[in-house]
Amino acid sequence: QGYALITDEQAARGRDAIQPDPHEDEIAPDYSDWLILNGNNAIALGALAAGVQFYAAYPMSPSTSIMEHLASVMDQAGIVVEQAEDELAGINMAVGASYAGAVAMTGTSGGGYALKVEAIAMAGMQEIPVVVVDAMRPGPVTGLPTRTEQGDLNMAIFAGNGEYPKAVIAVKNHEDAFYQTARALHLAQKYQMPVILLTDQYLADGTATVPHFDLSKVTRVVAGNTAEEALAYKQDYVRGDTPSGEMTEKELAESEYKRYRLTENGISPRLIPGNPYAFVSADTDEHDEYGFITESAKVRVEQTDKRKRKMTTLIADDLQEPEQFGKAGSKVLLVGWGSLHGTLLEAADKFAARGVDVNILVFGDVWPLPLASLTEAAANAEHIINVEQNTDGQLGALIRRESGITMTHSLLKYDGRAISSDEVVERVLDIIGKE
């Protein structure tokens, strides 16, 4: 009898399997020309599209495949890729290449970033553009090297002795990884400072299909390495707010070049070493407008304030507000950042299907922290919940520090596995008292 039941069940399932498909007349989208890639592939492609010329790094999962991708095309792209002997060498090579005129970047994970911190601060002091990718994994130290987490936000923003300008951008998905990498290289060159690009193992190694990237949205980075190229630079790129805009060869030859000239927007004129018209100096000590070491209290304040003005300019001109979806103005506000974008986007649909109004903000730019959209959304919210993959709710703490807005609840996961939309929905409904 047991055998008969099994065979009858098999037969029934066979009949069901050959029934007409109720969806057979629906036309599926054509994805035949889409790209299949992981997050690190997208970062590498974004760097190439923006004109990266030099990449140096020490292999550290989950960032290594960025270097592998760039190395695989280095001859065709005409770039230099260097596998460094250690993390310190990787960042110092990148900073040195940038100082010499190359568009340069490096990549690592949290433990490697910790080793790079002094050199990143050096780039901030010397005002040298460099992009550093931190593909986060659970720490501290080795942690879970093949798992995911968002534990490096505080380190990316605050690590380094003293104070210096930097931008920190958290990648949200595969498309965003492409465009934000290109943007990071542009911001580093424009503001002559380090830009930190945060991703994580979930996004770095995760594969997705994406439409072909729109190269018209990418700013091709220029970091001239000849005197002729230097003469053609635009005002906002290397001459700061030079009154005359572009400088002619005669003007440049006759001018008194000040590498760290005090400017209203904080961006000083940048020329490449070896230029026949000017002496270019860079030092890790405090320096005057010419780049010479100084102990002057007055100059110290002037140069510190000048560097700080870059952040004011960035906030005014280039800061991106978080992406909003769900029900704007809702009494329930979720805030997240980086790779939680997809999870929260899916959760928004599930909340809507249940008839639950939830407003969601996902931050990409995390330093400096954009506050306009957040302040408006928080004004209407009774429940403000930060969704993060770390133990301390680092974005929630940053929001409180920068805006005074306090999270009413924190939804945190830190077991090395990516949080799912079902987990978000279940825990939020429990918080707000709905089933």
Q: Which fold has domain 35-217?
A: Rossmann fold (3.40.50)
CB count, 10 Å around CB of 71? 16
**The tokens 């090297």 sit on which residue?**
145
| pLDDT reported for residue 11 | 75
CB count, 10 Å around CB of 313? 19
| pLDDT reported for residue 269 | 83
Angle, helices 87-99 vs 110-126, to 10°: value is 30
Q: In which residue ranges of the chain is CATH 3.40.50.970 found?
A: 35-217
CB count, 10 Å around CB of 434? 12
Q: What 3-state class would DSSP assign to 340?
A: helix
CATH architecture of the domain with range 323-432:
3-Layer(aba) Sandwich (3.40)
150, 156, 157, 159: CA torsion to nearest 10:
130
Please report, in tens digits, the pLDDT of each residue of the chain (435 residues total).
Answer: 566 666 777 777 776 776 766 666 666 677 778 999 999 999 999 999 999 999 999 999 999 999 999 999 999 999 999 999 999 999 999 999 999 989 999 999 999 999 999 999 999 999 999 999 999 999 999 999 999 999 999 999 999 999 999 999 999 999 999 999 999 999 999 999 999 999 999 999 999 999 999 999 998 887 643 444 444 443 333 344 443 344 556 655 566 778 899 999 999 888 888 777 678 889 999 999 999 999 999 999 999 999 999 999 999 999 999 999 999 999 999 999 999 999 999 999 999 999 999 999 999 999 999 999 999 999 999 999 999 999 999 999 999 999 999 999 999 999 999 999 999 999 999 999 865
Q: In which residue ranges of the chain is CATH 3.40.50.920 found?
A: 323-432
Q: Which of 275, 278, 282 is nearest to 256 (CA)?
A: 278
